Amino acid sequence: MDEKVMVTRSSMPDFEEYTREIKSLWETRWLTNSGVKHRELEENLCRYLKVENLNLCVNGHQALEAIIEVMGLKGEAVTTPFTFTSTTNSIVRKGLKPVFCDIREDDFTIDADKIEPLITEKTSAIIPVHVYGNICQYEKIQKIADKYGLKVIYDAAHAFGVTVDSVGAGSLGDASMFSFHATKVFHTIEGGCAIFKDRAFYDKLNEYKNFGLGADGEIEFAGSNIKMNEFSAAMGICNLRHIGQSVSSRKQAVLRYRENLENVNGIRLNAERENVKSNYAYFPIVVDPEKFGKTRDDIFTALAENNIVARKYFYPLTSQNKEFGGAYSASETPVANKIAQRVLCLPLYEGLSNDTVDRICGVIKSL
């Protein structure tokens, strides 16, 4: 049987490069609490992402929770059900009620034209997601937020390095979260960051992520412990040096996928926008069973039988999580529900060869 193809694979620097990067840690014994590597990575990321007020955290989920916490948000948040459960769980865990808005069929992001009817006197924020690196309708969203005095927090876990009209995705809204999980385009093994427009929130997060300790050593409020350690930061420093190579490799695989699949009846590919610089993080396809003759699940099974791991990402909708006990109906967000039933993310990672892409596409086209 052919070698197993995973849906993703972590990019890593040369072993010697990483060991050189961490060697000084044996001399300083400074392993956490905003050490040298931590500070260097923050500075490097600010330059690369074209942002200010970037605060590293232990992971992206905790970064999103921390943003909600330090902004003091209460009540309701308008968000999308077409996302990884982390987005929704962060809202729920901080005591807010998620209000689910439907998505756009072409790029899978929250439909800005459907947000305003969902706003009530309890709404405190809009929390959209840049899905697969597709950038939300940020100008429309900001106008709505300004009209009602709401915060805009972007889950930018998929949008590392993505720019729209030459503007970094992390500079949109009042705050953004990036995930640096091992499966992402850029990773620190585990990790993430919060980015704020207002410097005051950056400073407050510094206290929050260190138990709420103030400059005088007194506990200012009930904080948490979500600091990134020096070994993770060192991995990030190494990986950031090679991010151009990683993105370029992914792009070549995406171009090969498009060459194979763009004319297959019943297979719709992710829309591309001229004003967006992509990071080629994911390669989703949307399957129309009536035109293609098989369902998404049929393709998923056929790939698995050929030792190829694809992912139903995102399925099911987070509004259908058992935690809600059926409080939300999938019919309330019909576009998101339809896409969730039809979407499949194909393998994509640095070093994925043209031959392997052809093999994956061959299985699909054989159906």
- Per-residue pLDDT tens for 44-61? 999 999 999 999 999 999
Of 197, 216, 240, the position where a domain reaches its end is 240
Whether 5 is in a domain gets the answer no
Place of tokens 């009530």: 120
Looking at the fold, whether 68 and 160 belong to one and the same domain comes out as yes
Looking at the fold, whether 173 and 248 belong to one and the same domain comes out as no
How many CB atoms sit inside 10 A of residue 290's CB?
8
Supply the pLDDT for residue 20: 98
Strand 343-346 and strand 276-277: the pairing is unpaired
Rounded average pLDDT over 337-349: 98
Of 240, 265, 295, the position where a domain reaches its end is 240
242: which 2 tokens? 């090679």
Looking at the fold, whether 68 and 172 belong to one and the same domain comes out as yes
Whether 8 is in a domain gets the answer no
Q: Is the dihedral of CA 48, 49, 52, 55 positive or negative?
A: negative
Q: Give the C-alpha separation, 309 to 99, whole Å.
A: 33
Whether 157 is in a domain gets the answer yes
- Can you say whether residue 262 is alpha, beta or left, with left for phi > 0 and alpha for psi between -120 and 50 degrees? alpha
Of 197, 217, 240, the position where a domain reaches its end is 240
Looking at the fold, whether 64 and 195 belong to one and the same domain comes out as yes
Looking at the fold, whether 164 and 270 belong to one and the same domain comes out as no
Looking at the fold, whether 90 and 184 belong to one and the same domain comes out as yes
Strand 54-57 and strand 192-196: the pairing is antiparallel
Supply the pLDDT for residue 347: 98
- The pTM score is 0.97
Looking at the fold, whether 84 and 196 belong to one and the same domain comes out as yes
**Reduced DSSP (H G I as helix, E B as strand, rest coil) percent helix, strand, coil of the chain, to 5:** 40, 15, 40
Dihedral (C-alpha) 278, 128, 153, 38: value to the nearest 10 degrees? -40
Whether 6 is in a domain gets the answer no
Whether 2 is in a domain gets the answer no
Distance, C-alpha 56 to centroid of its chain: 15
- Report the domain count for the chain: 2
Residue 89 has pLDDT above 70, yes or no: yes
Tally the residues of the chain: 367
Whether 257 is in a domain gets the answer yes
- Residue 47 lies in domain: 15-240
Looking at the fold, whether 309 and 217 belong to one and the same domain comes out as no
Looking at the fold, whether 59 and 206 belong to one and the same domain comes out as yes
Strand 167-168 and strand 163-164: the pairing is antiparallel
H or E element in which residue 176 lies: strand 175-179
Confidence class for position 217, pLDDT limits 50, 70, 90: confident
Supply the pLDDT for residue 116: 98
Domain of 352, CATH number, reads 3.90.1150.10
Rounded average pLDDT over 283-298: 98
Looking at the fold, whether 41 and 171 belong to one and the same domain comes out as yes
240: which 2 tokens? 């950031």
Supply the pLDDT for residue 76: 98
Domain of 121, CATH number, reads 3.40.640.10
Strand 276-277 and strand 123-127: the pairing is unpaired
Looking at the fold, whether 181 and 119 belong to one and the same domain comes out as yes
Instruction: Tell whether omega for the bond before 316 is within 30 degrees of 0, i.e. cis.
Output: yes
Looking at the fold, whether 312 and 347 belong to one and the same domain comes out as yes
Supply the pLDDT for residue 258: 98
Q: Are 12 and 241 in contact (CB under 8 A)?
A: no
Among residues 12, 11, 9, 33, the alpha carbon closest in space to that of 21 is found at 12
Whether 3 is in a domain gets the answer no
pLDDT tens-digit series, residues 302-325 = 999 999 999 999 999 999 999 999
Query: From edge to edge, which strands make up the β-sheet containing 76-79?
Result: 54-57, 192-196, 175-179, 151-155, 123-127, 76-79, 97-100
Q: Give the C-alpha separation, 301 to 309, whole Å.
A: 9
Whether 290 is in a domain gets the answer yes
